[in-house]
Structure 1
Amino acid sequence: MDTALRVADALKSFRETRLSGIRPPSEFFDYQRISRPADFNEATSRISYNTRYFSGNYGFIVAALAVYAVLTNFLLLFSLALLVGGFILINKYAPEATQLGEHTITQKHLYTALFVIGLPLLWWSSPILTFFWFVGASGVLILGHASLIEPGVESEYTTIQDTV
C-alpha cells in the first residue's frame, strides 16, 4: 500500500512538473510561424528561446523516439528484457544456494551465467548504433524545429524580465 502511494505521488509530481509544460499541438505545429532564420545569431536566439518554451514537447519527442528505437530493434529489446528479467528473477527466487545433484548453485553462478549469455547478446544487438541514431534523430528534430519556429510576441518580454 505504501508503495502504491509513493507511485501515485511520483506520477502526480511528474504530471505537475513535466506535463504542465507541454504546449498544445496547434501552437507547436503552427506552420504560419515557420521561417528561415536570417543568420546564425538569430538561429541561436530562436533555439535558446524555443528549447525552453517547448521543453515539455521536446521531452515528449525524445521519449517517443527512445521507445521507437527500442521497439524497432527486437534483439535489443530481447537482450534488455533478458538481463533485467534475469536479474529480478535471480534476486527473487534464488537468494540462497541450491543443491542440484552433486553441484551447489549460488547466486554468483546464476549471475555469471546470465552475464555470459546476456552481455554478448546485448553487444550483438548494437546498442551503440541505436544510441547514436537516437541522439542524431533527437538533435535534428529538436534543433530543426527550434530554429525554424519564430518565437511569439511574449519572447520579447523575457529579456526584460531577465534583466529586472
Structure 2
Amino acid sequence: MEAVIRVTDALKSFRETRLSTLRTPAEFFDIHRISRPADFNTAFSRLTYNTRYFSGNYTLIVAALAVYSIIASPLLLLSLVFLFGGFAAINRFEDLYGQFVTQKSLYTGLFVIGIPLLWFSSPFMTLFWLIGASACLILTHACLIEPGVESEYANIEGAV
C-alpha cells in the first residue's frame, strides 16, 4: 500500500511540474511560425527557448514514443511483463509456498528465465531508438519554430 502512495505522489508531482507547462496543440503545431533559422546562433537560441517553453509537450512526445516502442516489440513487452509480474507474484504470495520452494529459489528461477528473455528482446536497441527518435523530433521542432513575441519579454523580465 505504501508503494501505491509513493507512485501516486510521484505522478502528482510530475503532473504539477511537467504537465502544467503543456501548450495547446494549435500553439505547438503552428505552421505560420515555422521558418528556417538564419544561422547557428539563431538555431541555438530557438532551441534553448523552445525546449523550456514546450517542455511539457516534449515530455508527452517521449512518453508516447516509449509506449509505442514497447508495444511494437512483443518480445520486449513479454519479457517485461514476465519479470515485473514475477516480482509481484513472488512478493505477494510469499505465504503460499512452503519449505520445499524458498523465496530465494523462486527469484533464481525468475532471473534464470527472465534475464535471457530480456537480453533476446534487445532492450538496448529499443532504448537507443527511443533516444534517437526523440532527439530528432524535438531538435527539429525546437529549431524550426520561431519563438513568440513573449520570448522578447522573457529576456526583459530576467534582467529586472
TM-score of the two chains, using structure 2 as the length reference = 0.91
The separation in 1 between residues aligned to 2:8 and 2:59, in whole angstroms, is 21
Equivalent residue, structure 1, for 2:91: 91
What is the 5 A alignment of 1:131-150? Answer: 131-150=127-146
CA offsets per residue over residues 32-65 of structure 1, 9 Å max, x none? 0000001111100000000000001001101100
Aligned partner letter, 1:31? I
Percent identity between matched residues is 65
CA offsets per residue over residues 127-163 of structure 1, 9 Å max, x none? 0000000000000000000000000011111111222
What is the 5 A alignment of 1:14-163? Answer: 14-95=14-95, 98-99=98-99, 104-163=100-159
Aligned residues: 160
The separation in 1 between residues aligned to 2:144 and 2:29, in whole angstroms, is 11
**Alpha-carbon distance change, 7 to 113 in structure 1, aligned in 2, over 3 angstroms:** closer
Aligned partner letter, 1:114? L
Structure with larger Rg: 1
The separation in 2 between residues aligned to 1:79 and 1:4, in whole angstroms, is 23
CA offsets per residue over residues 105-147 of structure 1, 9 Å max, x none? 1111000000000000000000000000000000000000000
Instruction: Say what the alpha-carbon RMSD is for the aligned residues.
Output: 2.2
Decide whether the 8 Å contact of 1:75 with 1:125 is kept in 2. Answer: yes
Aligned partner letter, 1:70? I
- Structure 2 gap segments, 5+ residues each: none
Give secondary structure in 2 for the equivalent of 1:98: coil
Deviation at 1:20, TM superposition (A): 2.0
Aligned partner letter, 1:144? T
TM-score of the two chains, using structure 1 as the length reference = 0.89
- Structure 1 gap segments, 5+ residues each: none
Aligned partner letter, 1:157? Y
